Amino acid sequence: MFPSLEIDIEGQLKKLKGYAEKIRPMVRDGVYFMYEALHGSPKKILVEGANAALLDIDFGTYPFVTSSNCTVGGVCTGLGVPPQHVGDVYGVVKAYTTRVGIGAFPTEQINEIGDLLQSRGHEWGVTTGRKRRCGWLDLVILKYAHMINGFTALALTKLDILDVLDEIKIGVAYKLGGKRIPYFPANQEILQKVEVEYETMPGWKTDTTGARKWEDLPPKAQNYIRCVENHVGVPVKWVGVGKSRESMIQLF
């Protein structure tokens, strides 16, 4: 395919064999390793989904997805862990919605609001360095993620990015032809056509980055969080108001 490409085959093989010896002591049989961890002395085992729910190959916005299951089923299919060992499931969600690359994004704000969220939130794709597309928090997506994952609680991050806004909208439902649809559409064409129904809330116009407990948050920010909980039916356990570990408020 590349006749002009010259490769030092022996040199490359030698280098890779060297890597193999360095990596060899770190390699384990994954299924047996997890079995031992689950049945040995009690441990806390944390499994992280590598991407967001809507990038899941089966339940995401196909074809704009990744190549694996990053929803809760990935614990079983990716690690060989039996389902009865899955304990608490925590959903991590920003206080607004973002997406990298193409694909339907009903609450996207292609305006100064989207630009503000992008710049204040430093929203760049980790792998590609592309600007993330930004919009209002989409609770239809969050509820859909909850249907699949069964969240025990939520971590609501980057609340501080909304500190400067006069008013904040939350996408609470999708309409198609003027009628509410009770589910998240699997079809991209339909998703492109939905109209978002919003709830508008007053902004708190206060710096929240110094907040360390629930009582430190402005009442309007507390109302925003409670609104998310009420619509999704899942309690918010953590609220993020900055980059540092100390900026994560634990509610219970």
Write the pLDDT tens digit of every residue in 30-85: 999 999 999 999 999 999 998 899 999 999 999 999 999 999 999 999 999 999 99
Q: What's the token pair of residue 89?
A: 């499931």
Interacting residues of 129 by C-beta distance below 8 A, sequence separation 6+: none
8 A C-beta contact, residue 125 and residue 134:
no
CA distances to 94, 110, 138, 200, 202 from 196, in Å: 19, 15, 9, 12, 19
Question: What is the tens place of the pLDDT at every residue in 108-166?
Answer: 999 999 999 999 999 998 878 889 999 999 999 999 999 999 999 999 999 999 999 99
pTM of the model: 0.89
pLDDT for residue 155: 98
> What is the rounded CA–CA span in Å between residue 212 and residue 208?
9
pLDDT for residue 225: 98
Length of the chain: 252
- Mark the binding-site residues for substrate, compressed into ranges: 126-132
- Mark the binding-site residues, compressed into ranges: 51, 66, 126-132, 158-160, 240-242
- Rounded to the nearest integer, the mean pLDDT of the chain is 95
- Mark the binding-site residues for GTP, compressed into ranges: 132, 158-160, 240-242
Q: Report the DSSP pairing between strands 153-157 and 90-94.
A: parallel
8 A C-beta contact, residue 158 and residue 94:
yes
Question: What is the tens place of the pLDDT at every residue in 195-230?
Answer: 999 999 999 999 999 999 999 999 999 999 999 999
pLDDT for residue 188: 87
